[in-house]
Amino acid sequence: MRKTLIVGNWKMNLERLGARSLVSAIRSKLDPQSARLKEQREIAVAPPFVLLYAVSQELAGSDILLAAQNMHFEDSGAYTGEVSPPMLKPFGVRYVILGHSERRQFFKETDDLINKKVKAALRHRINPILCVGETADQRKEGRTLDVVMAQLEGGLEGIEASQLSSLTIAYEPVWAIGTGVNATPEQAQEVHGIIRNRLQARFGTELAQGARILYGGSVTPENAASLLAMPDIDGALVGGASLKADSFAAIVMAGLG
């Protein structure tokens, strides 16, 4: 069975004190003794790079994992302003979000670059969360599946079957990010199902069935349970609602069996 993964993507928000108090508030709202929580949820937060240390300290002794929002694919070198996988590892970073639509849109990240980052993450045993998703125009033009499949194939180019269990896919329709308009559970399920079919065609049924596919885009405490109830939605990548302890904790606990 796939364990539901809820990741808070803080984007370029918060500073040290705010980050520490957010983590401490999230911890106080999640009962560490809850067997249902332990069994059914994996939780991670993705702060900006400069907050990783403070957040790692605040997370000490909890089950909440640390994620990064991006990274470079080289280990070191003349790449002013960049951060490499070996720099992230000592903070205990377990996941890295790669190819987020904001990276694609504002920083011109291509599938080829994202693929290099996915490979670098796997090489360093940081679990990549590969983001894919269509814009509003692409959906209107009926190109959703073409766009998502091209991003999926591009991001996973050269990835071997043995690496799939370390990988998470996140479907984040660009039109749903930060807009308050989430994909309906049916709209998201349709794309998630097709992503899984594609993984199955490439890596086989067993591995594809084990792969987690997260949904992201205006996830709230109100819509989380219905999204997570869909058969191929294995978690959520949460932006705005992850910046408040109440709403993030409510999403984490949404639909617990």
Q: Which residues are catalytic?
A: 100, 172
Angle between helices 245-253 and 16-29 (to 10 degrees): 40
Q: How far is the CB of 204 from ligand 13P (least distance, A)?
A: 29
- Mention every residue, 6+ apart, whose C-beta is less than 8 A from residue 189: 230, 231, 232, 233
Residue nearest ligand 13P, CB atom distance: 239
Angle between helices 111-123 and 144-155 (to 10 degrees): 40
- Residue in 85, 154, 216, 235 binding ligand 13P, rule: CB under 6 A: 216
Q: Which of residues 156-175 bind ligand 13P (CB under 6 A)?
A: 172
Q: Which of residues 77-136 bind ligand 13P (CB under 6 A)?
A: 100
Q: How far apart are the first and last CA of the chain?
A: 14
Of the candidate spans 33-41, 135-143, 155-163, 234-242, the one that interacts with ligand 13P by CB under 6 A turns out to be 234-242
Residue with smaller CB distance to ligand 13P, 167 or 208: 167
Q: Which of residues 29-68 bind ligand 13P (CB under 6 A)?
A: none
Is 9 among the residues that bind ligand 13P (CB under 6 A)? Answer: yes
- Mention every residue, 6+ apart, whose C-beta is less than 8 A from residue 177: 101, 102, 133, 216, 217, 218, 239
Spatial distance between the Cα atoms of 244 and 246, rounded to a whole number of angstroms:
6
Residue 203 CA from chain centroid, whole number: 21
Q: How far is the CB of 136 from ligand 13P (least distance, A)?
A: 14
Residue with smaller CB distance to ligand 13P, 122 or 176: 176
Is 235 among the residues that bind ligand 13P (CB under 6 A)? Answer: no
Angle between helices 16-29 and 52-59 (to 10 degrees): 30
Residue with smaller CB distance to ligand 13P, 208 or 236: 236
Angle between helices 185-203 and 144-155 (to 10 degrees): 40
Summarize as ranges the residues that interact with ligand 13P (CB under 6 A).
Answer: 9, 100, 172, 177-178, 216-219, 237-241
